[in-house]
Structure 1
Amino acid sequence: MPQNPKTETEHAEAEAEIPSAVLARWWMPFADFLGKERHYSPYTIRNYARAFEDFYWWLHAAGLWTEDGLEGLDPRDMRDFVIEAQHRYSARTLHNHVSGLRSLIKFWLSRERIRRDPFLGVPLPKLEKTLPKFLTEDQMKRLLLGPQRLLENEAIEPFLAWRDRLAMELLYGAGLRVSELVSLNYGMLNLNDGIARVLGKGRKERLCPIGKVALTVLKKFRRDFARFTGPSDPVLVTPEHARVSVAQVEKLLKRYLALAELPLEISPHKLRHSYATHLLNAGADLRLVQELLGHAELATTQVYTHVSVARLQEIYAKAHPRS
């Protein structure tokens, strides 16, 4: 079994690039398929690209990448890859990487460039069943007050204060994915009805009520700070009025998490978890929450019912004299 080849060569690989011939033959047709036919978001395609890059360099360092490319691999090689990768990635990240690689393999199997699936029968580490993390309603209030606090102390420009608050209000108030947030254009909004028409995973369209507070912030930002508000102009912009990236949203969120003394590992997606959990805690119908979140399967949404039950049990344990 190769002895941790990625670790031995990681510094060299950080400066290297995958040969263009390899990308042209094995990656680019798959990337085009993901974007043009499956309508995957750039964010998802980027994650698949990272999985392919990591896989290629592991194979290269182990001496397993030949002119046959993916065709020459077998399940023994893949078991070695999974065993070694467990030292570098969490079980969840490894599952996501292998899922992307399996999609790549399936793509080339369907085009008969390879004849067998080398991942077939290869076991992955078990995933712990964990409940989604979320912020309480009080914690959300503290978080959302952050931009105003900085503005009152003259520690931030008004543009950034209202832009940052708008980003967080839409993540929480409309339950948007971060990729949906940064893709949101003014033409996708109905400000009279307070509705956003967004394109979710797989280019599936859904209607998201924005909420009164988020709508108020949105209207103010549009009126006082937005330079371009045409149908194709982005809602969330930088001071130079360019579209904000996912990384920029993640960065601004960490700033306000630190200000509110909340865990820095809370991601933009955790605000969406908070949105769903608070809706269910208030008695919202599970099917309605499924529709609002854009989940294809009800089972995906049902995890939030477990969160709500866990929260009820916690309250009971603290409050009841015989708990």
Structure 2
Amino acid sequence: MTDAPDPLRIAAPALAAAVVAWLTRLRVERRLAARTLEAYDRDARQWLSFLAGHLGGAPDLADHAGLRTADVRAFLARRRADGAGSRTIARQLAALRSFAGYLEREHGLNAAPIRAVQAPRLKPSLPRPLSVVDARRVTEEAGEDAAEPWIAARDAAVAMLLYGAGLRIGEALAITATDVAGDTSVLRVTGKGGKVRLVPLLPAVRASLDDYRHRLPFRPGAGEPLFRGARGGPLSPRIVQRSLARLRGALGLPDTATPHALRHSFATHLLSAGGDLRTIQELLGHASLSTTQLYTAVDADRLIDVHRRAHPLGGEAAVADTAASVRRMNAG
């Protein structure tokens, strides 16, 4: 049985080289996340494979210049038939638009046919945070099954950063020894797109980090990741995910209790305690406030309570109407 041919080898050299140059620009200049780049690379290869069959031969730049909107829709329909969901389809269309824009700038090709294709409408998925009690249990018991005390301290420190500071797992694992050197209550975090933000560290989070640093048997260089695997290499996100999967099994938590759910819990619990959206947006590193606003739909109980206590026309009937409206909003 022979392996399937590489789509970049199926395409004519000029088009294959353009794909490589486009991905390189996304990585170097736009600093897209590694997972996004991997997804865009897969999308481009699937696109080239489709074109080879659709056009009956190796696609070239000239073929790309002659594409119609119907050709792009045929590709998306094929992906849908193969089982791709709406979010995958939307991401693949975004990748094609980005590539078409690159070809337009660098090779003068018309990107209008691809831009004309509408992406599927997506219903925003609401975050699924843990309760305050369950989030505390995770941070208190993370690493309990670890074979070494320093690994237990490591897992606890990572959980603390996710829930206590609202970091993404990639942001936490990218922290270097320099980032946490000295007695500081603020952490410098590099987020998506290379954007840097300052995140305050609660005393409990700082104490957990310090405990891990003191127990760590390795000495990472100044610019190297602080969190290490059992053999001393950089800690993999999969290790963190597997560790939390074992913990949620032991604690009887749902499958939605993932590392990212701890970040969701951080934001939701801040909002419940009266935190304003702009501050939470800054802490999370969201580029748009609309992303942070998803948490207002999660915290429906707080909206009802504020409405009841603050509105001059408050009363049981008003509260009931508000509750019904919020539930319809969350359901729809």
Deviation at 1:30, TM superposition (A): 1.1
- Paired letter, 2:150: F
1:194–1:215 CA contact under 8 A, matched in 2:
yes
User: Is 1:86 aligned with 2:80?
Assistant: yes
Correspondence 1:245-264 to 2 at 5 A: 245-264=236-255
Deviation at 1:270, TM superposition (A): 2.5
Runs of 4+ in 1 over 6 A off after TM superposition: none
1:82–1:124 CA contact under 8 A, matched in 2:
no
Correspondence 1:181-260 to 2 at 5 A: 181-260=172-251
Aligned to 1:42: 34
Alpha-carbon distance between aligned partners in 1 of 2:135 and 2:108, rounded to the nearest angstrom: 51
- 3-state DSSP class of the match of 1:228? coil
The structure having more radius of gyration, on CA atoms, is: 2
1:108–1:114 CA contact under 8 A, matched in 2:
yes
Deviation at 1:61, TM superposition (A): 4.3
- 3-state DSSP class of the match of 1:208? strand
- Paired letter, 1:40: L
> Which of 98, 101, 111 is residue 96 of structure 2 equivalent to?
101
Deviations along 1:248-295, one digit per CA (max 9) or x if unpaired, are: 333333232323222324443322211111111111122111111112
User: Is 1:282 aligned with 2:282?
Assistant: no
- 3-state DSSP class of the match of 2:137? helix
Aligned to 1:77: 71
- Paired letter, 1:103: S
Give unmatched runs, 5+ long, in structure 2.
308-315, 321-332
The TM-score normalised by the length of structure 1 is 0.82
Aligned to 1:29: 21
Aligned to 1:8: none
Aligned to 2:311: none
Deviations along 1:161-184, one digit per CA (max 9) or x if unpaired, are: 222222222112111122212221
After the TM superposition, which of the residue ranges 124-133 and 102-111 deviates more from structure 2? 124-133
Aligned to 2:133: 138
Give unmatched runs, 5+ long, in structure 1.
1-10
Deviations along 1:213-250, one digit per CA (max 9) or x if unpaired, are: 22112111111124114421211110121112333333
Correspondence 1:111-126 to 2 at 5 A: 111-126=106-121
Change (3 A) 1:70 1:174: farther
Deviation at 1:76, TM superposition (A): 0.6
> Which of 19, 26, 31 is residue 8 of structure 2 equivalent to?
19
> Which of 282, 301, 306 is residue 291 of structure 1 equivalent to?
282
Deviations along 1:18-39, one digit per CA (max 9) or x if unpaired, are: 3354785132211221122112
2:144–2:152 CA contact under 8 A, matched in 1:
no
Identity %: 30
Deviations along 1:130-180, one digit per CA (max 9) or x if unpaired, are: 3222211122123234435425xxxx3323322222222211211112221
1:180–1:200 CA contact under 8 A, matched in 2:
yes
- 3-state DSSP class of the match of 1:189? coil
Aligned to 1:7: none
Deviation at 1:54, TM superposition (A): 2.9
Change (3 A) 1:277 1:190: farther
After the TM superposition, which of the residue ranges 124-133 and 195-204 deviates more from structure 2? 124-133
1:191–1:215 CA contact under 8 A, matched in 2:
no
- 3-state DSSP class of the match of 1:185? coil
Alpha-carbon distance between aligned partners in 1 of 2:45 and 2:187, rounded to the nearest angstrom: 36
Alpha-carbon distance between aligned partners in 1 of 2:258 and 2:55, rounded to the nearest angstrom: 38
Change (3 A) 1:260 1:54: farther
